[in-house]
Structure 1
Amino acid sequence: MTLTFEPAPPVLAATTTGDHFPVRRLFCIGRNYAAHAREMGNDPDREPPFFFTAWAEAVVPDGRVIAYPQATADYHYEAELVVAIGASGRNVTAEQAPAMIYGYAVGLDMTRRDVQAEAKDAGRPWDAAKNVEQSKPLGPIHPKADLDPSTGTIALTVNGAPRQTGELSDMIWSVPEVIAHLSTFYRLQPGDLIYTGTPAGVGPVVEGDVIVATIDGLGALTVTVGPPAL
């Protein structure tokens, strides 16, 4: 017997030009700010960056209500600079990497922190902690012209109270270096998104909280935490 399934529609991210960016894959860089690495109990140095992946379906646009997920009592925000890839490349150098970039956006990497801690203690993958429905909110993608993602302030508030603030220049690995590193594992393709890590100050949210993440030059991303999805 042959089963037939309707293909899922592509996830389309908004851009500031009014176009839509078809999302392909998500690559998320861990511990790319020294202060955040320390607050998570790690000693940061310039070892090669590590990353995890997530489904495109985790992306939701600005202004949405995101469900508080099941199987956690400690759901955390992480504000991040997101890089949208617009050209294919494998084994590129850091000098070649900027030519692959379509643009930049503000993003959130929401995390089941208690699930992540259990996985770390057991030496297991982080999938259930990070690859979560509606866990990767994404603001409009700004085409890269006239943007310099190596400088600027990244910040986050919860219900108007400051929670995270940092400088993009504090990233341990720069955007071109991250792209070059990822390209040694995969051929990066148009539609890929790279979440580049978060500064210190991560913490939990509860139902009803309003999260606003901002990056200089990229505006604000706002989401509200809603009830658990059934």
Structure 2
Amino acid sequence: MTPVLVALTISLTPAFALAQSAPSTDSRVVQSQERTASDAALDERLARDWGLQADEWARYQQLMQGPLGIYSPNLDPLTALGIEARTAEERRRYAELQVQAEARRVEKTLAYQRAYDAAWQRLYPTLQPVDLTDTGSVSTGASPSVRLAVFVKEGCPACEQQVQQLLTEDAAFDLYMVGSRQEDARIRQWAARMGIDPDKVRERVITLNHDAGRWLSIGVQGDLPAVVREVNGQWWRL
């Protein structure tokens, strides 16, 4: 009798172990399904926020996993899709969506600015806000207390002329090179060709920066070069 009982016990062991492991597997499947549903719901909401269809949002995510996402990692969906538009109709659609989105953003920003100004007057009626912006003598229509941002790119004669003009005017500005690929040597060599004084760079009268998608993110229209200034959170081209 003993050998029979032992054999029966051994034969039942794998089935018992399988029965124990099944709930754990089922649990992982359920969790995976829940994550998938949650991700899908998030994608749907984000697409809706930007006025996009689900397939357009999926294409944006795909684009940002390629070269575009490396060059401009913080690019918004409408700009990314507009840049990579496959037809003129697509390009026009994304441009219109972006203009509408920007108009809503500006309206909200200005509304908050008005509320901020009212709060300042209400809480500190005898004090004036202090402008701590870097100063520079500029004759391009900007106030002397406003620092300029200058966007340029290589192989652009007009960009070189614009920077030369600012240097002649002894302006203080932040220079951003579009398409620098995060290569410091590329910016330094370009600045040397322009005759930018290294002492001014060390003293931060002039700063040299990688664009890193900033030009597209501020939403200013037009070609490079661009000299812009920020007023109440909004960028204006000079």
Q: Is TM more than 0.5 here?
A: no
Whose relative contact order is higher, 1 or 2, with alpha carbons under 8 Å and at least 6 apart?
A: 1
Greater fraction of residues in strand: 1
